[in-house]
Structure 1
Amino acid sequence: MSLRDLSVLYLIAGLAFAVAVYRASPEGRRRAAFSAALCVPLWPIWAPVALTARRAEPGAAPGTAAAAARVQGALREGVSACAGTSFEALLSREAAARIEAEVARAAARHAELDALLRQGGFDEAAAAARVAEIERGGGAGSGRALATAHLHLENIRRLRAMRDRDARALEELADLVQALRTQLVLARFAGSSVEGVGGIVSEVWARVEGLGAAIDAHGGASSGEPIET
């Protein structure tokens, strides 16, 4: 096959990927077209990135699900590493199961909040635009309407803050549990003391209890109950 033939095939593949990226994009036409245009010359590099990113967006918080999976995997490896050793009391199977359950609860709440905030009635930009519209209009009765619009906007912002806080907490916990896993493995093979592992175990439990407290304190916010202001 000649260089020209290879070039034609490369171009055809680039055009095919460009069409796929454009159709899969949930963004505006301008950004979708730009992303598709990049696929024509750079499809081996750009197409996998663009298509994977597009698939991840509509789902139930894939980043948080990945963090929960990291916690689960690290916990199981950590339990295996300390089984039958003096560290077993620090991370038993029962303790790991409790941590997994709390992480699953947090991930589920994050996914629920994320799905909720994707609905039209929870669009922060639209709520802010409504506030600005009332402020510009003025007139009789605008004071009460403005207060209601501000309340709606503030509630959306609080929900977004809760969602983002959950995501950060799960990511940080995943990193911490992975560090615990490596420390347990190191302690087993290097003969480190139990005291050297106890500190990070305590930190893990503190983070887990923080997740649970946040869910219990704000549980009504993702189940349709009004947010107090």
Structure 2
Amino acid sequence: MSLRDLSVLYLIAGLACAVAVYRASPGDRRSAALSAALCVPLWPIWAPVALTARRAEPGGSPGTSAAAARVQGALRDGVSACAGTSFEALLSREAASRIEAEVSRAAARHAELDALLRQSGFDEAAAAARVAEIERGGAGSGRALATAHLHLENIRRLRAMRDRDARALEELADLVQALRTQLVLARFAGSSVEGVGGIVSEVWARVEGLGAAIDAHGGVSSEEPIET
């Protein structure tokens, strides 16, 4: 195979990677186009970095979905471990269903926030750049600067809400998994109900916290302004 043939194959691979990166890139299309353009000459290096970064972005929905699945799996195991024992009143099927419902609500809100923040109009870097641009403009830009600051602050508040939901779900998943192992241990080791009650109370406190946060802030819509 000649050098020309190899060059053509390299270019084709670069174009294919560029298309994949562009399609996988959320948010600002200009940033996506730039990332895709880098793939054409540098695809062996840039394509894995760009695609992996999209999958591993902090607060993303896949991680939250995984946390919700961990909660659901641990609850099922915990209910099974309690069945027919003195611990059954601590984690009944009805209680597990209530917990799962709150977790599903929290995961859905997180996914909504995450999708919203991937839109071009919610790009924090672009909003910060706009503030800096207006500040460099000097006098006569008071109202424009206040509006730009408000937009940037709203984006930051939305990101903080999204990230807080993600952390809360991850922490609850860890706690429910610990509850599951404690219930299994208690069943086979013959531990007392009192030894399990503390962690059950902590689980309920976290679940109630999730519900309160959702009820306080409600759903999120790109058409609704955020008050400051």
SS of residue in 2 equivalent to 1:220: coil
Shift of 1:46: 12
Tell me if structure 2 keeps the 8 A contact 1:68–1:107: yes
Aligned Cα RMSD in Å? 5.2
Cα offset for 1:144? 1.0
Q: 2:174 is matched with which residue?
A: 175
2:172–2:203: 8 Å Cα contact kept in structure 1? yes
* Structure 2: 5+ residue stretches without partners: none
- Say if 1:21 and 1:36, in contact at 8 Å, map to a contact too: yes
In the TM superposition, residue 177 of structure 1 has moved relative to its aligned partner by 0.2
Q: CA deviation at 1:225?
A: 3.1
Deviates more, 1:42-51 or 1:92-101: 42-51
- Alignment CA distance shift 1:38-1:110 (3 Å): same
Q: How far has the Cα of 1:226 moved from its partner?
A: 2.4
Alpha-carbon distance, 1:141 to partner: 3.5
| C-alpha distance after superposition, 1:47-76 (max 9, x if no partner) | 999867656769971000000000000000
Aligned 8 A contact 1:109 1:222 in 2: no
Q: Distance in 1 between matches of 2:178 and 2:226?
A: 37
Whose RCO is larger (CA < 8 A, sep 6+)? Answer: 2
Mapped pair 1:211 → 2:203 = no
Q: Distance in 1 between matches of 2:113 and 2:199?
A: 30
Q: Deviations over 1:137-181 (max 9, x none)?
A: x45541111111101100000000000000000000000000000
Call closer, same or farther: CA 1:99–1:165 in 2, change over 3 Å.
Answer: same
2 CA distance for matches of 1:41 and 1:145? Answer: 40
CA–CA distance in 2 between the matches of 1:31 and 1:74?
A: 40
CA 183–38 in structure 1, closer or farther in 2 if over 3 Å, else same: farther
In 2, Cα distance between equivalents of 1:2 and 1:134: 54
| Cα separation, 1, equivalents of 2:134 and 2:3 | 64
Contact 1:159 1:221 in 2 (8 A): no
Q: Equivalents in 1 of 2:118, 2:29: separation in Å?
A: 19
Q: Is the Cα contact below 8 Å between 2:28 and 2:123 reproduced in 1?
A: no
- Whether contact under 8 Å (2:131, 2:145) holds in the other structure is yes
Runs of 4+ in 1 over 2 A off after TM superposition: 1-60, 138-141, 220-226
* Counterpart check, 1:108 vs 2:105: no
Structure 1 CA distance for aligned equivalents of residues 97 and 179 of structure 2: 16
Instruction: Name the CA distance, whole Å, in 1 between partners of 2:130 and 2:42.
Output: 42
Per mean C-alpha deviation after superposition, the further-off stretch among 5-14 and 192-201 is 5-14
CA contact (8 A) 2:61 2:114 kept: yes
What is the number of residues matched between the two proteins?
228
Instruction: Return closer, same or farther for 1:141/1:207 CA change in 2, 3 Å cut-off.
Output: same
Alpha-carbon separation, structure 2, partners of 1:124 and 1:152: 9
The two structures have a TM-score, normalised by structure 1, of 0.77
* Identity %, equivalent residues: 94
Alpha-carbon distance change, 176 to 9 in structure 1, aligned in 2, over 3 angstroms: farther
Query: Structure 1's 2 and 127: CA in aligned 2 closer, same or farther, altered over 3 A?
Result: closer
Following the alignment from structure 2 to structure 1, what is the Cα–Cα distance between the partners of residues 28 and 210? Answer: 36
